[in-house]
Amino acid sequence: MAVHERLYTAEELLALPDDDKRYELMEGQLTEMSPTGEAHNLLSIEFGALIRNFVRPRKLGRVYGAEMGFRLSKTPDTVLATDVAFVSKARLKPVQSGYLDGAPALAVEIVSPGNTEAEMHDKVKRYFQAGARLVWVAYPRSRVIYVYTSPNEVTILQADDTLTGGDVLPGFSVKVADIFAVLDE
């Protein structure tokens, strides 16, 4: 939900005073995000650990945790906060204090109870328009993962299926049931 009438820039979003709220920027509109629940957080950590444990020893790039902001477009600015993201080594710059420009190679979104299908598809579309090559959208309630290789090409994986990194993370694979098992511990 948009919370203010005027248009904001990514720099203004970054400089907002800490009011214990989380925001994204959609074409300049400040949008408040609800705090995540336990299932969402456990899955964020699980995806992050799995990807990081694959990426780091191979020196493939950086893995970012929840709330990393990516400026996907400018004037008006759109800044989305992924749940987990991978940026390839070829795109890395020295660590900075602001948002990263462009989309990660892989964006992982975990659906919260308040998210709509249209909202999630809009995010997927925006990630690809900004240069993402792979987007995973995880649904904790149904324990399925939607694997997007473009905004209109999606494969739905269930418990017995294997999630792979495709050409973004060649060699990465994990059984879908193993990811969601963290919710049963």
pLDDT tens column, 1-12: 455 568 988 889
Q: Which CATH superfamily is domain 36-184 in?
A: tt1808, chain A (3.90.1570.10)
Provide the residue ranges of all domains of the chain, joining segments of one domain with +.
36-184
State residue 100's pLDDT score.
94
Per-residue tens of pLDDT for the chain, all 185 residues: 455 568 988 889 888 887 877 888 889 998 888 778 899 999 999 999 999 999 999 999 999 998 899 999 999 999 999 999 999 999 988 888 889 999 999 999 999 988 889 999 999 999 999 999 999 999 999 999 999 999 999 999 999 999 999 999 999 999 999 999 999 98
Question: Which among 146, 106, 115, 107 has a CA at the least distance from the CA of 33?
Answer: 115
On average, the pLDDT of the chain sits at 92
pTM of the entire structure?
Answer: 0.92
State residue 15's pLDDT score.
86
pLDDT tens column, 109-124: 999 988 889 999 999 9
State residue 1's pLDDT score.
45
State residue 77's pLDDT score.
93
